[in-house]
Amino acid sequence: MMNSASVRSRYLQPYRTIDLVTIASLGVAFGVVFWAWGKLYGVLDLAATIGYPPSGALLGGTWLMAGVVGGLIVRKAGSAFATEVVAAAISMFVLGGTEWGFTVLLSGLVQGLGAELIFLLVAYRAFTLPVAMLAGIASAAFASVYEWTYYYSDWDFGYKLAHLGFFAVSGALLAGLLGWLLVRSLAATGVLDAFGAGREAHERDVVHQD
């Protein structure tokens, strides 16, 4: 049976310099993506919501991907949360801001917490596709409830539940599935050799060669 010291060590692994650099690099990269998506979102969201406003949440999963990818790569307590927050901060401050102002950073905090919760629940030991999709769904759920309060407080409960459902689907597919595929693709190139994802890619190559 695992003792308490062993359990703590699973949650409190020290960060290496490369972990911090990777979180920062991912945050900057996704911050640019978030900023660009924000510029495009107004047009796409208008088209998506003409018939049914909550359906606009189907486009929201893109903003959740940083936390999922950061958690899948770095695999340490706080990595999903930190990557999402850095990306939100970059999109808000460094790139000249967005039309949503300071709420972008608040969204990043909430979204990062959602993704982090799933990695915490699996003790930072499982990084499969289902875990990635669950992280995307949790991030979306946190974001949806946040948006009910700050953007859609006048919606009735049916609209809010629909928004949650659409956001969860988007989180599962755009953040979870695409995020997981992105990490697999990066690992296959060798750029993640210092991380678990890179070692797993090499193991898959060995199995295929056998």
Rounded Cα distance, 210 and 207, in Å: 5
Mean pLDDT of all residues in 60-71? 96
Work out the percent of the chain whose per-residue pLDDT is above 70: 86
Mean pLDDT of 150-154: 87
CA distance 32 to 149: 26
Tokens of 157: 């409960």
209 versus 58: the higher-pLDDT residue is 58
pLDDT digits (tens, 9 = 90+) for 91-135: 888 766 556 667 888 899 999 999 999 999 999 999 999 999 999
- Residue 1 — pLDDT band, cuts 50, 70, 90? very low
Q: How far is CA 160 from the centre of its chain?
A: 22
